[in-house]
Amino acid sequence: MKKAEPTKVAVLGASGYTGEELVRLLLRHPHAELVAVTSRQYVGKTLAEIFPRAASYSVAQTLEFSEATPEKIAGQAEIAFLALPHGVAVEFAGPLLQAGARVIDLSADFRIKNAATYREFYGNEHAAAELLRDAVYGLPEIYRDEISQARLVACPGCYPTSILLPLIPLLREKLIEPGSIIADSLSGVSGAGRKAELDYLFVECNESVRPYGVPKHRHLGEIEQELSIAGGSAITIQFTPHLVPVNRGILTTLYVTPTGAAQRIEAALHEAYATAPFVRLLGDKSLPDTKNVAGTNVIEIAWRHDPRTSRLIVMSAEDNLVKGASGQAIQCFNLMCGHAETAGLL
């Protein structure tokens, strides 16, 4: 069902790292035509002026940032990507949907299905709780069909993607103890966004390794929601994020107690991702490395059984800006438009 015409798309709030990555991926996408980008701070500037790397694409020389209304955007674009901050995206989604656009939201605003859970993790009432029911969690390997039909896709956070893809097949098959899950994650600094804060200055991050957000990071809300769905009961996990001095990449090490045999665990992962173009199962042959996935939409997954402790260690590596954000959004876009899942992503 590949369409002859490229799909017209808009990116709202394209001034941060995920916005820039989204623009870059859309400019080289064979089936997308970028018709609008918005950013309050860059109104009137061309894409090429703000993102020098985009300057090689002719459309970047002419397309200017605007402050277009949702209605105007919906008149131009079939699909609107929201690269807006949490709490801002929620204001745009409703009007865009009402005006006829389909929405792919990269913020956290529509990831949590339960308004009370949203309040627990984000500290305020959800501003458009009526839309939560329709939002589809944008993890293509898990919700391929739902995403295809969705009008509102809530793309997962970067940490959740690195934790959910390794664990969901194991929970679905009841191969691990749900209460045993410990996720230890290391993130590159682009995960903090393009924010002028002292904590993310070069000198503060270079030659620094540090945990943060211990013990209750906001991403736990969506992680536990999706793990609980997979496991069939409420799951609470341990999660510790760390900041490490790389631009891009998340490396997650998961510690779980297996209840099934090693072969069944291996089989569950291979079956789950047999046809997934972006999941690279390393098994016990090698170990993941963020440098092998940086700039790509691939997630690497490896696992080891420790006979000394009877634990299973599962490790994953992804690019937080691609598979953890903008690449995954494009993957959703491809499913929504009937393009090949890998279009524009190889």
> What is the smallest separation between the CB atom of 281 and its own copies, expressed in angstroms?
11
> What is the smallest separation between the CB atom of 146 and its own copies, expressed in angstroms?
25
Q: Which helix (H) or strand (E) holds 66?
A: strand 65-66
* 201 Cβ neighbours under 8 A, 6+ residues apart: none
Of the pair 212, 261, the CB lying nearest its own copies is at: 212
Of the pair 21, 173, the CB lying nearest its own copies is at: 21
Give Cα 285 to chain centroid, integer Å: 27
Give Cα 272 to chain centroid, integer Å: 19
> What is the smallest separation between the CB atom of 244 and its own copies, expressed in angstroms?
5
Of the pair 153, 322, the CB lying nearest its own copies is at: 322
Q: What sign has the CA pseudo-torsion 96, 151, 127, 120?
A: negative
Residue whose token pair is 């092998």: 292
C-beta separation of 124 from 218 below 8 A: no
> What is the smallest separation between the CB atom of 238 and its own copies, expressed in angstroms?
5
Q: Which helix (H) or strand (E) holds 238?
A: strand 238-243
> What is the smallest separation between the CB atom of 228 and its own copies, expressed in angstroms?
14
C-alpha span between 26 and 118 (Å, rounded):
30
Of the pair 134, 195, the CB lying nearest its own copies is at: 195
* 49 Cβ neighbours under 8 A, 6+ residues apart: none
User: How many other CB atoms are found less than 10 A from the CB of residue 44?
Assistant: 9
- CA neighbor of 36 nearest in space, from 17, 11, 18, 58: 11
Q: Which of 158, 205, 332, 337 is catalytic?
A: 158
- The size of the chain, in residues, is 346
Q: Is 158 a catalytic residue?
A: yes
Residues identified as active-site? 158
